[in-house]
Amino acid sequence: MIEATPDTANSILDHLTRAVVVVDGQCRVQRLNSAAESLFQVSTRQAMNESLMQLFPGLTVLDEAIGQALEQGASYTEREIRVVMGADRTVTVDCAITPMQGPALLLEFEQIDRHLRISRENRLIAQNQAIRELIRGLAHEIKNPLGGLRGAAQLLESELENADQREYTGIIISEADRLRALVNGLLGPDVRLERQPTNLHEVLERVRHLAIAEAPSGLSIVRDYDPSIPLLPAAGDQLIQALLNLVRNALQALGDNGTITLQTRTQRRFTIAETQHRLVARIDVKDDGPGIPAALQDQIFYPMVTGRAQGSGIGLPIAQTLVNQHGGLIECSSEPGCTVFTVWLPLEMDND
């Protein structure tokens, strides 16, 4: 039996994985457990007696719920609150507010970024697998009869004496070829990857040079590379193709003016598709163009989904497949003025 002293209560509070903050009736911080210190990156000494909202302006969305909890003595739960913690850190939390005697309030925060990311990620991977199965089946059904049609048209062509009639068989043959190329494109690359230690920045520089050759003069491509990234086990050509598809999309979205940023970073202990990696590379392809149309945002990794008149909609599914074959994942976030495609790639050489 553990003795219920104030010390044990404090120790239990500090061992909770959930962040706990106690505020008084004026919403001034009275207690902060260790999880809250690390979530909000503030020490108890810094936060003590300070107004919660002044410390974390991102929590002002809780104002109303806190007011009501104090007035009515009722508990509230707010979900998916995005709290801006600093220039480059935003966390998403669920918050439960419970009134206590005093008056005081107990606020419990649970960081949910990770849950959100993992469920979105699993959806992307499952989506990609389902699509590939469907296409493989369909491609098989199309390619066989197509081969027969093309062969018969060729035979017919050799029998025809009239050049005008040969024009028709020519159309059958060239349309059959176009359809075959489309189906092959949809099937994506069918090569066993030959992975070798690859310098990510050499890959990106190739992509950048190819893109510069296609880009109008009002467009700039900015580099922000982390030089400490080690070699990664990859098939360089496949990675070039995947990244070039992302950069081309950005070029097409920007038109004549704008900036594309290629950024690389590493991240320790990161989970992709339920596999924990010691170290992964993160490559961001950012552009300041109009963004992905809202109606397309959830579907862009499906084949044949395109927002462009000349688009065939296979660039992104192919890029996703290539990156998946490296044990990685492509994610996307987009709003007008800022579209980011993030490529995660595991960096362990022994990972297959």
Ligand X SMILES: Nc1ncnc2c1ncn2[C@@H]1O[C@H](COP(=O)(O)OP(=O)(O)OP(=O)(O)O)[C@@H](O)[C@H]1O
Query: Rule CB under 6 A: which residues touch ligand X?
Result: 245, 249-250, 253, 287, 289, 291-292, 296, 300, 305-308, 311-316, 339
Closest-approach residue to Mg ion (CB): 315
Q: Where are the alpha helices (DSSP H) in 162-288?
A: 163-187, 200-214, 236-254
Q: With H, G, I as helix, E, B as strand and everything else as coil, classify residue 344.
A: strand
- Tell me if 347 sits within 8 A of 281, measured CB to CB: yes
* Residue 218: both structure tokens together: 């009002």
CB of 251 to ligand X, least distance (A): 9
- Looking at the Cβ atoms of 325 and 339, the one nearer to ligand X is 339
> Which positions ≥6 away from 281 have C-beta within 8 Å?
200, 229, 232, 264, 265, 266, 343, 344, 345, 347
User: Could you tell which of ligand X, Mg ion, none binds residue 336, using a CB distance below 5 to 8 A set by kind?
Assistant: none
CB of 319 to Mg ion, least distance (A): 8
Q: With H, G, I as helix, E, B as strand and everything else as coil, classify residue 311.
A: coil
Q: Where are the alpha helices (DSSP H) in 41-112?
A: 44-47, 52-55, 63-72
- Looking at the Cβ atoms of 321 and 339, the one nearer to ligand X is 339
Residues 111 and 115: their CA atoms lie apart, in Å, by 9
CB of 300 to ligand X, least distance (A): 4
- Tell me if 61 sits within 8 A of 67, measured CB to CB: no
| Closest among 33, 29, 71, 19 to 50, alpha carbons compared | 29
- 339 lies in the site for Mg ion, by CB under 5 A: no
User: Could you tell which of Mg ion, ligand X, none binds residue 108, using a CB distance below 5 to 8 A set by kind?
Assistant: none
- Looking at the Cβ atoms of 99 and 317, the one nearer to ligand X is 317
What part of residues 192-231 is at the interface with Mg ion (CB under 5 A)?
none
What one-character DSSP code corresponds to residue 229? P
Q: Length of the chain in residues, anyone?
A: 352
| Closest among 58, 53, 45, 3 to 28, alpha carbons compared | 53
- Looking at the Cβ atoms of 104 and 304, the one nearer to ligand X is 304
User: Could you tell which of Mg ion, ligand X, none binds residue 321, using a CB distance below 5 to 8 A set by kind?
Assistant: none
Place of tokens 């990685």: 328
CB of 171 to ligand X, least distance (A): 24
User: Total number of residues binding Mg ion (CB under 5 A)?
Assistant: 2
What one-character DSSP code corresponds to residue 228? T
- Looking at the Cβ atoms of 172 and 296, the one nearer to Mg ion is 296
> Which positions ≥6 away from 267 have C-beta within 8 Å?
279, 280, 282
- Looking at the Cβ atoms of 198 and 324, the one nearer to ligand X is 324
- 249 lies in the site for Mg ion, by CB under 5 A: yes
Q: Which of 315, 317, 327, 328 binds Mg ion (CB under 5 A)?
A: 315
User: Could you tell which of Mg ion, ligand X, none binds residue 308, using a CB distance below 5 to 8 A set by kind?
Assistant: ligand X
CB of 232 to Mg ion, least distance (A): 24
CB of 242 to ligand X, least distance (A): 11
User: Could you tell which of Mg ion, ligand X, none binds residue 327, using a CB distance below 5 to 8 A set by kind?
Assistant: none
User: Could you tell which of Mg ion, ligand X, none binds residue 58, using a CB distance below 5 to 8 A set by kind?
Assistant: none
Residues 30 and 52: their CA atoms lie apart, in Å, by 10
CB of 315 to Mg ion, least distance (A): 3
Interface residue list for Mg ion (CB under 5 A): 249, 315
